[in-house]
Amino acid sequence: MSARALSVSSFASDLLSLTKPRLSGLVIATTAGGMWLAPGELTVPRILVTLLATSGTVGAANALNCYWERHSDRFMARTRNRPLPAGRMEPGVALAFGLLLAGISLPALALGANLLTAGLGLVALLSYVLAYTPLKARTAAAMLVGAVPGALPPLMGWTSVTGQIDAGGYVLFAILFLWQIPHTIAIGLFRKDEYAAAGLKTVPLERGDDSSRLQIVLYLVALVPMTLLPFQLRIAGGWYLAAAVVLGLSFLGLGAMGHFRQLGRAWARQTFLFSLLYLAGLFAALMLDSGGHG
């Protein structure tokens, strides 16, 4: 490969990394889940446009977040090699890329799905970039603000099919919102030193480890019954209900063990990893035992 081709490939790879592809993968999965569960007609063009445009909107938010946090990213092991803190890309390029991506994705959502879904995408983008990102350096409560755009993708999937926000959409939003809190606190616990070095506020840094472990348990206590509502609303069936109970009690048990035994970073990392398995398992069960398009 020529030096020029290598350079172009490297630049393209850096642009892609600004969108945080692993996080975007989670967004695609939960958006697809919302579409699959929603009552209504699914067409291939609508599916493709909604998934791609939602991914583009989230990618734009992530690129703009990378632009905003380029200085603090230098202090964290998981972010210091990103294009901006590593000096491989000019900040203006990342800013222009994020704005361009948003400028393409939001109109695509409006045209390919509906105005409501595009509106929710705009709320997700603005709340993530203009509220959550700057608040992270000021207060741990930013976590609650950030959970809003994080919980919108499955609702956007739902509204792209139904054209309205109703009980099913609200429940999917609530499940993702509540799930994010223990997930985020767990990251804050095992990466506490990095967040402190970057000057970012987290629950462990502001309230301490004991309060953090307790909050994980309390949010899991709220999450578990919320995950039973899809069965109650007849969005999903008995197999989903059984999976939700087993997964939920396992997650709650792990959280309670950490709280009562006052466990440390190894447990926090296990909790973070289990939260990902939990969400994947829950949405897999939802989609396999749904009362909608399944």
Q: Give the separation between CA 188 and CA 209, rounded to whole angstroms.
A: 10
Which tens digits make up the pLDDT trace of 84-112? Answer: 898 888 999 999 999 999 999 999 999 99
| pTM of structure | 0.92
Q: Give the separation between CA 98 and CA 61, rounded to whole angstroms.
A: 7
CATH 1.10.357.140 domain extents, the chain:
11-142
Which tens digits make up the pLDDT trace of 220-274? Answer: 999 999 999 999 999 999 999 999 999 999 999 999 999 999 999 999 999 999 9
Answer for the pair 140, 206: CB distance below 8 angstroms, yes or no: yes
pLDDT-derived band at 75 (thresholds 50, 70, 90) equals confident
Task: List, in order, residues 6 or more apart from 86 with CB less than 8 Å away.
Answer: 80
Q: Which percentage of the chain shows pLDDT scores above 90?
A: 79
Residue 294 has pLDDT above 50, yes or no: no
Output the pLDDT for position 95: 95
Instruction: Tell me the two tokens of residue 169.
Output: 């959409």
Output the pLDDT for position 291: 59
Buried/exposed code over 123-143 (b: 16+ C-beta within 10 A; e: otherwise): ebbebbbeebbebbeeebebb
Q: Give the separation between CA 42 and CA 293, rounded to whole angstroms.
A: 8
CA distances from 258 to 206, 211, 212, 281 (A): 19, 12, 10, 22
CATH of the structural domain 11-142, one choice from 3.40.50.2300, 1.10.357.140, 1.10.472.50, 3.90.1150.10? 1.10.357.140
Answer for the pair 268, 258: CB distance below 8 angstroms, yes or no: yes
Q: Reduce the DSSP state of residue 139 to 3 states and report it.
A: coil
Residue 179 has pLDDT above 90, yes or no: yes
CATH of the structural domain 166-294, one choice from 2.40.30.10, 2.60.40.10, 1.20.120.1780, 1.20.120.80? 1.20.120.1780
CATH 1.20.120.1780 domain extents, the chain:
166-294
Q: Give the separation between CA 67 and CA 98, rounded to whole angstroms.
A: 9
Sequence-ordered alpha helix ranges (H) in the chain = 3-18, 21-37, 44-68, 91-112, 115-126, 133-135, 142-162, 167-190, 192-198, 203-207, 209-226, 229-232, 238-261, 265-288
Output the pLDDT for position 98: 96
pLDDT-derived band at 5 (thresholds 50, 70, 90) equals low
Task: List, in order, residues 6 or more apart from 231 with CB less than 8 Å away.
Answer: 237, 238, 240, 241, 244
